[in-house]
Amino acid sequence: MLTVSIVGASGYAGGELLRLLLGHPEVKLSQVTSQRSIGDPVTIHHPNLRRLTDLCYVSMDRLEPCDLLFVSLPNGLSMQYIQDLIPRAGRLIDLGADFRIRALPDWEEWYQRPHLHPELLNEFVYGLPELHREELKTARWVANPGCEAADSTLSLWPLVKHGLVDPQSIIIDAKMSSSQAGRQPTDASHHAERANCVRSYQASGHRHTAEVEQELSLSGKGCRVAISATAVDLVRGLLVTAHCRLSPGVKDKDVWRAYRGEYGEEPFIRIIKTKQGLYRLPEPKILTGTNYCDIGFEIDERFGRLVVIGAIDNLGKGTSGNAVQCMNIMFGFPETMGLGFAGLHPV
C-alpha cells in the first residue's frame, strides 16, 4: 500500500486530491497539512468527504516520511519549502507553477520574480502523461501542468507534431471557471462581481503561454501562441478554442488521422465531433469530476483555418486528476486506477 501525504490540502485542488485518493485502492492517506487550519478536520473545508475520512490538518513541520508527497500550494511557495519537503518522501508531485518551466529566463519573465532554486528546474518531469509517459515511469519529482496549459497542449499537440497547422500563429481563447482562482477570496471572486459574468480579464500575456510553447516545441517546431482568458459563470470547467492557420492541402481526414494516431490508445482523451445531439463538440459541463479531455475540431475552408475546441474539468484533468494519473504511472499501477468516474448528466 502506497503511503501518500498532501501539503496544502485545504484548497480546491487539495480537496479534489483527497476525494480521488480516498477512493484509490492502492493508497493509504497518511497526513494532510494546512498552516491556517492546524488541528481542524478536513471536512470543514471539504464537506463532501464527511464519513469518508477522519483526517485532521497538521503543520508542515510535522510531516512524517511517506512514499509520495503531493504539494498543492499557491504559486511561488513550493520553491520556498522544496528543500525541506524533498527529504520527507521518496517521490514528489508539485501541483503549482514553480517547476513547470525549464528555462530560467522564461520562468522569471512570465512570473516576474527570481526563482529560488533554478538548479532544480531541469530535475522535474513535466507531468503531462500523453507527452511524457516514459519519463514519468522513472521520475522522482514531477511538475503538474497548469489547467489551461494542459487543455491547450493536448488539443494542439497532434496538429503541430504532424505539421497540419502553422505553429507560429496560434490564437487561443480560454474560458475560465471560478475555482481556477483558488479558495482565497479576492475582489474579483466576490459573488456580486463574479456571478453572471463573461469578463475578459487577460486579453494577452497569460502566463500559461510559456508552458504551451515549451511543450508544443517538443515537436521540433518553434511555436508561438497568444492566449486570451475570459472568466465565465462556471464553478468548475475550462473550454479552450484555438484558431490555427491550416497548412496547404490539409483536409478533414488528415486531422482525424493525426488525432487518432496520437491519442487512439489514450484512456482519458476523447475526440468529440458528431452530427447529432446537443453535445456535438466538447462541453466542460459534462466533464465535471472526471479526468477526461474532450477535443473537437472544425475546418473553416473560407478562411483556411482550423478551429480546435478542448474541454476539461480544471480540477480533474486540469489539476488533481492528472496528478493522480501521473502517480499511477510512477508507481506502476493501472493508469486509470481511481479515475474511472464517468461524469454526470444532466448536471
Residue 244 designated active-site: no
Element (H, E) at 199: strand 198-202
The rounded distance, in Å, linking the Cα atoms of 114 and 98 is: 11
Distance CA 99, CA 321 (A): 19
How many whole angstroms separate alpha carbon 209 and alpha carbon 217?
A: 12
The CA distance from 134 to 326, in Å, is: 11
Q: With beta carbons less than 8 A apart as the criterion, state whether 70 and 119 touch.
A: no
Q: How far is CA 324 from the centre of its chain?
A: 11
DSSP 278: S
How many CB atoms are located within 10 Å of the residue 295 CB?
26
- CA–CA separation, 101 vs 79, rounded Å? 13
The answer to whether the CB of 63 falls within 8 A of the CB of 7 is: yes
Out of 56, 66, 147, 197, the active site residue is 147
Question: What span, in angstroms and rounded, lies between the C-alpha atoms of 78 and 22?
Answer: 24
DSSP state, residue 152: H
Just list the catalytic residues.
Answer: 147
